């Protein structure tokens, strides 16, 4: 019985009480679609939906990957490509960051540089490729410069956007505390523009692998591009698929690394 002001407490049986759901980790949810695609790929290959010469089964690709690793072809060529990307991306990202800060802060730099950089942004890599060969030969330099060009421009655009978004009052406050130009850039401008800078870094890191594919068309005797060219001439589809998957994996790993860096540097945003 229940009267006015008296609440009735109902005790549910143990089996009828709501059960607490166990959260699924994020990385598990992210793997669902790739795994489904892999299963569909394997099923289609085994079912004969397409020729194995056109698209080998994942098991055949995995076996080829192991063969290439054991023979030493894949590790040695991969290291060469990684070195090219590291050199080119470091040069390009550093240059783009410096130009972005200069153009974002000073109108004179914008008037001198921005129009030229905007024109360069629209130039396809394949158009620049023969010019770089004529100017710099067929060695490592043009390959590194192609990657640097591809990574510098996204970094430049995002850095300019971030620098211009910094609150002018923060700059005035820094000047009142006696900070010079370098001090303002180090303690006010770069931290304030960091979200946009990291966005540019993430985009540039992805572009570096696209630029590598183009760069390694310049008489590459080693690297993933050389491995692909050799496999294409011999109609080794398994090797081609291994390289394609490897490019995709390297791009994903690079993106994850930048996102982890972003989470660390911008931890204050989550705190707020």
Domain of 112, CATH number, reads 1.10.3720.10
Q: Are 148 and 91 in contact (CB under 8 A)?
A: yes
- For residue 268, the model assigns a pLDDT of 64
List Cβ neighbours of 187 (8 Å cut-off, separation of 6 or more): 174, 179
- For residue 6, the model assigns a pLDDT of 53
Residues in the chain, pLDDT under 50:
1-3, 12, 271
Rounded to whole angstroms, how far apart are CA atoms 154 and 108? 21
Rounded to whole angstroms, how far apart are CA atoms 158 and 100? 8
146-149 contacts: CB < 8 A, separation 24 or more? 146/88, 146/211, 146/214, 146/215, 146/218, 147/84, 147/85, 147/87, 147/88, 147/89, 147/92, 147/208, 147/211, 147/212, 147/215, 148/88, 148/89, 148/91, 148/92, 148/95, 149/92, 149/120, 149/125, 149/211
Phi, psi (deg, nearest 5) at residue 168: -60, -30
Tell whether 225 is covered by a domain.
yes
Rounded to whole angstroms, how far apart are CA atoms 60 and 38? 13
| Mean residue pLDDT across the chain | 84
Q: What range does the domain containing 171 cover?
A: 69-267
Angle at 34 between CA 200 and CA 65, to 5 degrees: 90
- Give the chain's domain count: 1
Angle at 251 between CA 49 and CA 55, to 5 degrees: 15
Tell whether 46 is covered by a domain.
no
Tell whether 22 is covered by a domain.
no
């Amino acid at each position: 019985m229940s009267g006015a002001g008296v609440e009735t407490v109902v005790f549910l049986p143990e089996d009828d009480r709501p059960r607490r759901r166990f959260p699924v980790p994020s990385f598990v949810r992210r793997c669902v679609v790739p795994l489904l695609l892999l299963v569909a790929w394997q099923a289609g290959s085994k079912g004969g939906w397409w020729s194995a010469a056109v698209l080998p089964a994942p098991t055949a690709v995995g076996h080829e990957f192991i063969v290439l690793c054991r023979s030493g072809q894949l590790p040695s060529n991969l290291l060469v490509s990684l070195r090219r990307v590291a050199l080119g991306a470091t040069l390009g990202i550093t240059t783009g960051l410096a130009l972005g800060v200069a153009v974002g802060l000073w109108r004179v730099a914008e008037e001198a540089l921005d129009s030229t950089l905007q024109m360069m942004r629209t130039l396809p890599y394949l158009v620049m490729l023969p010019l770089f060969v004529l100017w710099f030969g067929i060695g490592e330099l043009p390959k590194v410069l192609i990657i640097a060009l591809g990574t510098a421009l996204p970094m430049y655009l995002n850095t300019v956007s971030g620098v211009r978004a910094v609150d002018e009052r923060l700059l005035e406050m820094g000047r009142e505390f006696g900070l010079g130009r370098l001090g303002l850039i180090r303690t006010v401008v770069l931290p304030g523009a960091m979200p946009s800078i990291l966005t540019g870094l993430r985009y540039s890191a992805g572009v570096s692998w696209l630029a590598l594919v183009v760069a390694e068309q310049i008489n590459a005797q080693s690297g993933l591009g050389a491995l692909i060219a050799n496999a294409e001439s011999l109609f080794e589809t398994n090797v081609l698929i291994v390289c394609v998957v490897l490019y995709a994996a390297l791009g994903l790993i690079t993106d994850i690394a930048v996102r982890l860096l972003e989470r660390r540097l911008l931890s204050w945003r989550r705190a707020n």
